[in-house]
Amino acid sequence: MGTSSNHPPVGIIGGTGLTTLSGLELTGERPVNTPWGEPSSSLVEGLLGDQPVVFLSRHGNPHRIPPHQVNYRANLHALYEMGVRTVVGVNAVGGIHADMGPAHIVIPDQIIDYTWGRASTFFEGDLEETTHIDFTFPYSSEARALLIDAARAEGLPFSDFGVYGATQGPRLETAAEVLRLERDGCDLVGMTGMPEAALAAELKMNYVCLALVVNRAAGKSDHIITMEEIEAAIGQGMSGVRRILEISMGGLGALTARSS
Ligand SMILES: CSC[C@H]1O[C@H](OP(=O)(O)O)[C@H](O)[C@@H]1O
Ligand code: HPA
């Protein structure tokens, strides 16, 4: 067994195509419960290099929870209780920007939230005061820089910018909806980026999105979207995502908690 750094564990929330994290030297696995209910999966503890990691599968393992039914509050709270202060959310996305085709990696810098009806805050119920967190920059700039450096070092096809449009799902979008997202300034579309990012911010955790484009968004190619093309893009691109995680992990572990 390898030796562990003294850094707190980094949380990795794996999405479509990343239900388990190969390369993790396992140190434990436990089911947990939280005041917000059960997380999507048990929490898998291990080492990536010498960095402690806690891995959680957003859609469960096996993949069975649709995006609008993920218990995002339980997921983030469970990671927080394990000592995690920096979280990487790995997401499969549709590419809207012309340069963001299948197997392209994106480290986005902004979000627009189109989801509805999801439990999206920890600040509700019997409160002593209302709380409005700042969310100007939803992703940690330090964590983004580490992922960008790793993608560059590996020579992977990637973009260091992008607006993630979070839709409700579970259906994919219409072509007109994607045109609207594009007019709004979205470069990517996915179904799970929110409220995950906002809940991490409420807990003062650093949060960063590592997105793999698995299809061109609806209407942006000459064909409809198929699961076959999505699986092919995952097969082509997820190894790069894993490499970025491996390379950046020590730096992510060294980050201090979000200041605002
Ligand atoms: C057609 S795949 C859609 C599915 O994949 C993405 O999940 P995740 O962000 O967890 O990787 C997307 O948000 C949908 O849930
Ligand atoms: O085209 C998409 N739309 C929404 N979510 C997605 N997740 C992967 N591809 C897509």
| 206 carries a ligand binding annotation | no
217 is in an annotated binding site: yes
pLDDT of residue 30: 86
Cα of 149 from ligand 2 centre, angstroms: 26
For ligand 1, atom 13, the nearest C-alpha belongs to: 191
pLDDT of res. 1: 62
* Ligand 2 atom closest to the CA of 191, numbered from 1: 5
Distance 192 CA to ligand 1 centre (A): 7
Q: Has this prediction a pTM greater than 0.90?
A: yes
State both tokens at 200.
Answer: 């991490």
From first to last of the 260 residues of the chain, give the pLDDT tens digit: 668 888 999 999 999 999 999 999 999 998 899 999 999 999 999 999 999 999 999 999 999 999 999 999 999 999 999 999 999 999 999 999 999 999 999 999 999 999 999 999 999 988 888 899 999 999 999 999 999 999 999 999 999 999 999 999 999 999 999 999 999 999 999 999 999 999 999 999 999 999 999 999 999 999 999 999 999 999 999 999 999 999 999 999 999 866 55
Look at residue 27 in the predicted model and tell me its pLDDT. 92
Give CA–CA dist 170/56, Å, rounded.
Answer: 20
Q: Residues near 129 by Cβ (< 8 Å), separated by ≥ 6? A: none
CA distance 112 to 74: 22
Report the complex ipTM: 0.99
Domains along the sequence of the chain with CATH: 10-253 (3.40.50.1580)
* pLDDT recorded at residue 260: 53
